[in-house]
C-alpha cells in the first residue's frame, strides 16, 4: 500500500475515532512485511531473458464453418 493511500485511510479512521482499526492495519502491514523473503536466483536475469526461444509460425486458416485453425 502506498504511503499516501495509507495516510488517507488513517485520517478517515482517526476522524471517526477508530484507533482499534488503525492498530489492526498497522499489525497486518507489519506481518506482511516480515513474511517477505526474496528468492535467490541461480542465474542472472540477463541469461534468463536471452533464452533464444524459437519463434512460432502463427499462420492460420479459416474453415468452411468460420473457425480459425493453425495451419
CB 35 within 8 A of CB 29: no
CB distance 13 to 26 below 8 Å: no
Domain for residue 58, yes or no? Answer: no
Nearby residues of 11 by Cβ (< 8 Å), 6 or more positions away: none
If you search the block for the grid coordinates 468452411, which residue do you land on? 64
Give the total number of structural domains in the chain.
Answer: 1
Residue 20 domain-assigned (yes or no): yes
Does residue 71 sit within a domain? no
For residue 1, what pLDDT is reported? 67
- List, for residues 21-61, the tens digit of each pLDDT value: 999 999 988 888 766 677 776 766 666 666 666 667 778 88
What confidence score (pLDDT) does residue 25 get? 92
Amino acid at each position: 500500500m502506498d504511503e499516501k493511500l495509507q495516510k488517507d485511510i488513517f485520517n478517515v479512521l482517526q476522524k471517526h475515532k477508530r484507533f482499534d482499526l488503525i492498530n489492526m492495519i498497522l499489525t497486518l502491514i507489519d506481518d506482511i512485511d516480515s513474511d517477505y523473503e526474496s528468492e535467490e536466483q541461480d542465474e542472472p536475469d540477463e541469461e534468463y531473458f536471452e533464452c533464444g526461444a524459437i519463434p512460432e509460425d502463427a499462420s492460420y486458416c479459416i474453415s468452411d464453418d468460420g473457425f480459425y485453425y493453425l495451419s
